[in-house]
Amino acid sequence: MNRSAAFEVKGWCPGALRPMQSGDGLVVRIRPRSGAFSPHELRVLAYAARHLGNGHIDLTRRANLQLRGVSEDSLPSLHDVIARLGLLDDSPDGEAVRNVMISPLAGIDPAEVLDARGVGRELARRLASEESLWALPSKFGFIVDGGGVLSLAEQHADVRLVAIAHGPEAAFAVGLETRSGTEWLGSISPDAAATAAIEIGLAFINVASREPRQRMRDLSDEGLASIRSVMRSRLDILPKNPRKAALLLNRRVGLIELGAGRFAVGIAAPFGRVETEQLRKLADAIVAHGGEEIRLSPWRAFYAGLPSRPSAQSILDAAARDGLIIDPRDPLLQIEACPGAPCCSSTTLDTRGDGRRIAGLLPRFRFAGTVHVSGCAKGCAKSGPADLVLVGSEGHYGIVRNGSARDRTTRRLSFTELAADPGHIFGVDQDHGHD
């Protein structure tokens, strides 16, 4: 196993073999196979987080797990742990491009069009093993969406495979993410879907060698035309564009009734942060009540399929006692916040503490929008827009409405000053907040 590049101070995206230095030590990202961990794997990783890191564990927007506070001295031991679980890649370059997101209830949800796990596994295997693909940028990503109640339609990916038919006519629609949204190129059988995605990746590498770009949406019209030309003879005609699923926020957390006597639970972590004991207890509760896998998701939430409503409810009750989120109305679900100080050296602000304080104000002012609290203009917690963004700089927050952390701010205030006039933050009259 090649570990020559095991330690690297900086990186656009951390990995296990190529971690990233942060204010609290190394950040080590672990990519699950097919988007799922077994309860045993999570118990072992929780133990490793405590003894080889600082006990803080993050769920990422790419449905991965991150262990924080790892030192250069403890990193080799952590690699040994990850390798024994079969979760360590052979190469840091292969690991960096193994960015495949799969429907979190694949194979569980009776409403899905197709079980996407087989296509996702094959795609991930080829990305990690074929050196010709390692020239892909580390942020370049793939989505394999089988449909169902937890569709990935709102998530961003450079290449998208979406199930559109099952049975003898089973097929995936093949799409590219462009500046104007998803462009659907055609359809392909499940057996050939991973190959089609790989061919698009290779075509992107070829185009990017002429016009250096990091994402599909950054390509010129000529670059996109080149990829269309490569794929035209490989794909079938798409009868119609995939129907965009409704954004069912209330179905993502808590008890999820799947029909046909099947149930699942969605359990979110505040700002995506779980601690060692929370993770260990969650794994224990899920296996004790008949769960076999724990799925990760881009919503920084865990999912598990369960055999009955009582077993699902027991797990939810245990998770709530341990400080995890099971109520879809919890205002913390409206807020994204980066780790902030002291975990990150890019800010002096306690972004997650401030995020919790803001969450306490949301019901009072009936603010139903999304909030992003960012310690700096990089916007690591959320790259897309939010209804309200607080952007940190020199101990103060600037305000952005309906934008991202990279947009120009309108004011710069300390959190104390912001909290003194919360109605102004949320764009409502202070007096009306008490109605």
Residue 434: pLDDT over 80: no
- pLDDT for 243: 72
Total Cβ atoms within 10 A of residue 73: 8
Size of the chain in residues: 435
Radius of gyration of the chain (CA): 22
Which residue carries 């193994």 as its tokens?
Answer: 98
Residue 426: pLDDT over 50: yes
Which of 32-41, 347-356, 403-412 is predicted least confidently?
Answer: 403-412
Q: Compute the average pLDDT of residues 408-429.
A: 83
Q: How confident is the model at residue 244 (pLDDT cuts 50, 70, 90)?
A: low
Which of 58-67, 94-103, 173-182, 408-417 is predicted least confidently?
Answer: 408-417
- Going along 77-132, which residue ranges are E strands? 100-102
Q: Are 173 and 164 in contact (CB under 8 A)?
A: yes
Q: What percent of the chain has pLDDT over 90?
A: 84
Residue 390: pLDDT over 80: yes
Q: Compute the average pLDDT of residues 15-33.
A: 95
Q: Compute the average pLDDT of residues 53-70.
A: 96
Q: Compute the average pLDDT of residues 237-263.
A: 80
Cα separation, 115 vs 113, in Å, equals 7
**For residue 363, what are its two tokens?**
């019901």
Q: Are 386 and 374 in contact (CB under 8 A)?
A: no
- What values do phi and psi take at 161, rounded to 5? -115, 120
Q: Are 305 and 108 in contact (CB under 8 A)?
A: yes
Residue type present at position 381? A
Residue 3: pLDDT over 60: no
User: Among candidates 220, 211, 297, which has minimal Cα distance to 256?
Assistant: 297
Mean pLDDT of the chain, nearest integer: 92
pLDDT in tens, 339-369: 999 888 889 999 999 999 999 999 999 999 9
Q: Are 386 and 372 in contact (CB under 8 A)?
A: yes
Q: Compute the average pLDDT of residues 167-172.
A: 95
HSE-CB for 422 with a 13 A CA cutoff? 18
Cα separation, 223 vs 230, in Å, equals 11
Residue 430: pLDDT over 60: no
Beta-strand pair 100-102/142-145: parallel
**E strand or H helix at 5, and its extent?**
none
Angle between helices 276-288 and 39-52 (to 10 degrees): 160
Q: Residue 353, SS3?
A: helix
Cα separation of the two ends of the chain: 63
HSE-CB for 82 with a 13 A CA cutoff? 26
Residue 8: pLDDT over 70: no
Residue 433: pLDDT over 70: no
Residue 137: pLDDT over 50: yes
- pLDDT for 411: 82
47: left (phi > 0), else alpha (psi -120 to 50), else beta? alpha
- pLDDT for 245: 57
- What values do phi and psi take at 77, rounded to 5? -65, -40
Cα separation, 146 vs 34, in Å, equals 13
Can you say how many angstroms the Cα of residue 68 is from the centroid of all Cα atoms in its chain? 17
In the chain, DSSP finds a helix count (H) and a strand count (E) of 11, 20
Q: Are 424 and 433 in contact (CB under 8 A)?
A: no
- pLDDT for 428: 58
Cα separation, 177 vs 175, in Å, equals 7
Cα separation, 386 vs 382, in Å, equals 8
pLDDT in tens, 65-118: 999 999 999 999 999 999 999 999 999 999 999 999 999 999 999 999 999 999
- Going along 122-189, which residue ranges are E strands? 142-145, 159-165, 171-178, 181-188
- pLDDT for 62: 94
Cα separation, 167 vs 416, in Å, equals 59
pLDDT in tens, 280-337: 999 999 999 999 999 999 999 999 999 999 999 999 999 999 999 999 999 999 999 9
